[in-house]
Amino acid sequence: MRRLAVAVVLAGLPAAAPAQPASAELQTLKVQGNVYLITGAGGNIAVQTGNQGVLVVDTGVAAMADKVVAAIRKLSDKPIQYVINTHVHADHTGGNETVRKAGLTYVGANVTGNLTDAGVGAQVYAQDNVLKRMSAPSGVQTGVPFGAWPTETFLSGRKQLFFNGEPIEIIHQPAAHTDGDSLVLFRRSDVVVSGDIFVTTSFPFIDLDRGGNIQGEVDALNNLIEIAIPGVQDEGGTYIIPGHGRISDQPDLLEYRDMVTIIRDRVQASIKKGMTLEDAKAAGLTRDYDGRYGAKSGSGTGEMFVEAIYKSLTKKK
Amino acid sequence: MKLRLTSLGLSIALGSAFAQGPGAYNPVGPGVSLAGNWGPVFHEDAHERGPGPELVNYLGLPITDGARMYGLAWDASRFTVPEHQCEVHIVSYIYRGPYNLRIWEEHDPDSQKLVAIKQYIDNYQQTRTIWMDDRPHPSDAAPHTWMGFSTGKWEANILTVSTTHLKWGWIRRNGLRHTDQATLTEHFIRHGDNLTHVSILTDPITLTEPLIKTQDLVLRIQNGQTWLYPCEPVVEIERPRGTVPHYLPGENPFLHEFADHYKIPLDAALGGAETSYPEYQSKLKKATAK
């Protein structure tokens, strides 16, 4: 339990991806094994169900949280015991408080007697940097309510659980989309949840202000490729639930990794030629992918992607 | 042949005699049977379908500027990357070279209603399902596949198929690819022992107008060889992890190769909708006459 008892300032968290806004109706799809996908609540939400209970990966935006709980309840009436956050952004953590309150933590022995609220709500897991960015130093107040913060964090490379008869790995990807990204691998169901390291709706949003970096993003995509094993005839096999967009497999991910790598190489070459950031942004380096991945405005545009790469590659170490 | 014609005639006759109300299923019509083993006829676009297209030969393809840039960045060494080695030809391209195509029907055992027309394409060992039972296409969030999700309907004796949920795949296997937003309309037209396949590919991202292609197949009396596709990737070239072979903008060394070999202007080799129309020939003649 690494709950920081700090108070803070309004430091609200941005929603990451420009596309796939929260919609009025949620949609639930079975992915495979024990894992389901809920879309329409901002970022994608994964739900694992089984005899022991329910585990939820990401919780969407706050405004959709009640509907998310209702959608989970259609999948299972067992207790929601775990919430895992892939990263800090509000379109993935906004529903934490509501989803957590809808669940419970089993406690026993002396804990029950000593901490009367120990069993209240589900446990919320995340990499430690997620908590650091949601909370704030003593004396200041954060925009994220205390009840939405992770209750359990991990510092090392990975955290392992065994739940509903399946091994689950939460694997930290340092300095990629942010500095607190995790992949969540359901080893028996053969499903991996990528958070916003991989989205099918836009260019990657590299959140430099929250520790993101293009090289970490490329490394994380390559890690994901190594985890995802395609099925017969190079299709299916391990399914990937992206942070936004549709269910994917390794060949889909491969297209995305190639795109990110190619554009990184182009920006790198531009820097070597002495081009300024403005020159690189105006050079049309993403033109072959703009039609597919370029958001019209906001984060996820080609120009923003080039800027994030340029700044990552020229950042003084 | 005579038997088949007789059966067809009988089918049409029965279809009329036992006509039912709107929405009721008539198991013997409309439509003809496409069932059987079909082999390709390569007289059409033989060069592209056999040895394969030249690098930077985009002639006659209605590609966007973005698709052209994608193609020019593509390095054929991409095929040596293990994860790319077993990539299947997408359904919008695979009929360029099915070495054997088996078609059969699946019927509901109780009603004999036609549920699906199935195809086995031994090139890349693909089994394709064309649903004939009016089911809706899946959610936008559902996975995309090499064969996509297809529904069919009979338009007189032509089977018309609509396909969504495609992966990225070849427009031409020299680096031009359509995206996963593409959709495909097909017509399967049987003329006795010959089958014409018409494909109409639409992708607002890589094509400025639909790309229409045809392929012909012939009925095989003997069962053709059914090849399997046991593909296992291997490391062919040791490279740093995550390397993606590609050319930087303006650095494709093969840019002029096809155009120079055939003595045509580079603009023609670089394709675009204009290069697919007959009028372009006269424009070319004027350009090359100068």
Q: Are residue B173 and residue B62 in the same domain, yes or no?
A: no
Q: Are residue B89 and residue B152 in the same domain, yes or no?
A: yes
ipTM: 0.90
**Per-residue pLDDT at A116:** 61
**DSSP 8-state symbol, B61:** -
- Contacts of B245 by beta carbon, 8 Å cutoff, 6+ apart: B75, B77, B78, B80, B81
Domain that holds residue B239: 55-77+230-289
Name the more confident of A3 and B274.
B274
Nearest chain A Cα distance for residue B142, angstroms: 6
Specify burial of residue B60 (Cβ count, 10 A radius: 0-12, 13-18, 19+): middle
For A164: left if phi > 0, alpha if psi spans -120 to 50, otherwise beta; the answer is left
pLDDT in tens, A117-156: 667 899 999 999 999 999 977 677 778 899 999 999 999 7
Contact A264, A221 (CB under 8 A): no
Give the nearest partner residue to A288 out of B70, B83, B241, using CB atoms: B70
Nearest chain A Cα distance for residue B280, angstroms: 25
pLDDT in tens, A217-250: 999 999 999 999 999 999 999 999 999 999 999 9
Say which range, A14-23, A289-298, B135-144, has the weakest mean pLDDT.
Answer: A14-23
Domain presence at residue B12: no
Percent of chain A with pLDDT over 70: 88
Which domains can be identified in chain A, with CATH numbers? 27-255 (3.60.15.10)
Domain presence at residue B3: no
Domain presence at residue B160: yes
Handedness of CA B17, B23, B27, B30 (dihedral sign): positive
Q: Are residue B118 and residue B186 in the same domain, yes or no?
A: yes
Give the nearest partner residue to A247 out of B66, B124, B141, using CB atoms: B141
Handedness of CA B39, B43, B45, B51 (dihedral sign): positive
CA–CA separation, A217 and A175 (whole Å): 7
Domain presence at residue B209: yes
CA–CA separation, A309 and A292 (whole Å): 19
- Dihedral Cα B151, B157, B158, B159, nearest 10 deg: 20
- Complete DSSP assignment for B213-258: EEEEEEE-SSPPP----------SS---TT---BPPTT--TTTTHH
Task: Tell which of B191, B219, B247 closes a domain.
Answer: B219
pLDDT band at A200 (very low <50, low <70, confident <90, very high): very high
pLDDT band at B221 (very low <50, low <70, confident <90, very high): confident
| A interface with B, Cβ–Cβ below 8 Å | 27, 29, 37, 39, 200, 218-219, 221-222, 225, 230, 233-236, 239, 245-252, 254-255, 257-258, 261-262, 265-266, 269, 283-285, 287-292
Q: Which residues of A touch B70 (CB under 8 A)?
A: 288-289
pLDDT at B115 over 50: yes
Q: Are residue B180 and residue B285 in the same domain, yes or no?
A: no
Residue A169 CA neighbour count, 13 Å, CB half? 15
Q: Are residue B213 and residue B96 in the same domain, yes or no?
A: yes
pLDDT band at A309 (very low <50, low <70, confident <90, very high): very high
- Contacts of A191 by beta carbon, 8 Å cutoff, 6+ apart: A31, A32, A33, A35, A46, A185, A238, A239, A240, A241
Domain presence at residue B269: yes
**Per-residue pLDDT at A107:** 78
Q: Which residues of B touch A251 (CB under 8 A)?
A: 83, 87, 167-168
CA–CA separation, A306 and A204 (whole Å): 10
Q: Are residue B145 and residue B246 in the same domain, yes or no?
A: no
Task: Tell which of B219, B247, B264 closes a domain.
Answer: B219
C-alpha distances (whole Å) from A173 to each of A155, A297, B240 are 12, 27, 19
**Per-residue pLDDT at A300:** 80
Q: Are residue B184 and residue B127 in the same domain, yes or no?
A: yes
Average of per-residue pLDDT across A65-85: 98
CA–CA separation, B170 and B165 (whole Å): 15
pLDDT in tens, B235-284: 999 999 999 999 999 999 999 999 999 999 999 999 999 999 999 988 88
Closest CA to B142 of B110, B180, B198: B180
pLDDT band at A13 (very low <50, low <70, confident <90, very high): low
Q: Which of B165, B206, B244, B247 to mutate to test the interface with A (most CBs of A within 10 A)?
A: B244
pLDDT at A178 over 90: yes
Q: Which residues of B touch A246 (CB under 8 A)?
A: 140-144
Task: Determine whether the interchain pair B231/A225 forms a contact, defined as Cβ–Cβ distance below 8 Å.
Answer: no
Contact B203, B210 (CB under 8 A): no
Task: Determine whether the interchain pair B205/A266 forms a contact, defined as Cβ–Cβ distance below 8 Å.
Answer: no
**Per-residue pLDDT at A14:** 58
Task: Determine whether the interchain pair B143/A248 forms a contact, defined as Cβ–Cβ distance below 8 Å.
Answer: yes
Q: Which residues of B99-133 are buried (b: 16+ CB within 10 A; e: fewer)?
A: ebbbbeeeeeeeeeebbbbebbbbbbbbebbbbbe
pLDDT in tens, B2-53: 333 333 333 333 333 333 344 444 444 567 899 999 998 888 888 888 888 9
Query: In CATH, what number is assigned to the domain containing residue B140?
Result: 2.40.128
pLDDT at A57 over 90: yes
Task: Tell which of B219, B248, B266 closes a domain.
Answer: B219
Q: Which residues of A touch B149 (CB under 8 A)?
A: none
Query: What is the Rg, in whole angstroms, of the alpha carbon atoms belonging to chain A?
Result: 19
Q: Are residue B187 and residue B267 in the same domain, yes or no?
A: no
**Per-residue pLDDT at A27:** 97
pLDDT at A97 over 60: yes
Domain presence at residue B261: yes
pLDDT in tens, B89-102: 999 999 988 778 99
For chain B, the distance separating the N- and C-terminal CA atoms, rounded to the nearest angstrom, is 56
Closest CA to A288 of B63, B281, B70: B70
CA–CA separation, A157 and A171 (whole Å): 6
pLDDT at A15 over 70: no
Tokens representing residue A52 in the block: 């022991």
Nearest chain B Cα distance for residue A83, angstroms: 22
Nearest chain B Cα distance for residue A142, angstroms: 34
The model carries a pTM of: 0.90
Q: Are residue B245 and residue B141 in the same domain, yes or no?
A: no
Nearest chain B Cα distance for residue A108, angstroms: 41
Helix (H, G, I), strand (E, B) or coil at B271: coil
- The total number of structural domains in chain B stands at 2
Task: Determine whether the interchain pair A290/B66 forms a contact, defined as Cβ–Cβ distance below 8 Å.
Answer: yes
**Per-residue pLDDT at A164:** 98
Give the nearest partner residue to A261 out of B87, B231, B244, using CB atoms: B244
Q: Which residues of B touch A225 (CB under 8 A)?
A: 83
- Complete DSSP assignment for chain A: -----------PPPP--SSS---SS-EEEEEETTEEEEESSSS-EEEEE-SS-EEEE----GGGHHHHHHHHHHH--S-EEEEE-SSS-HHHHTTHHHHHHTSB----THHHHH-TTTTBS-EEEEEHHHHHHHS--TTS--SS-GGGS-SEEE-SSEEEEEETTEEEEEEEETTSSSSSEEEEEETTTTEEEEETTS-SSSS----GGGT--HHHHHHHHHHHHHH----TTSSSSSEEEESSS--B-HHHHHHHHHHHHHHHHHHHHHHHTT--HHHHHHTTTTHHHHHHH--SSSTT-HHHHHHHHHHHHH---
Chain A residue whose CA is closest to B148: A235
Report chain B's mean pLDDT, rounded to a whole number.
88
Long-range contacts from A107-111, C-beta under 8 angstroms, 24+ separation: none
Cβ–Cβ pairs < 8 A, chains A and B: 100
Chain B residue whose CA is closest to A287: B66
Domain presence at residue B181: yes
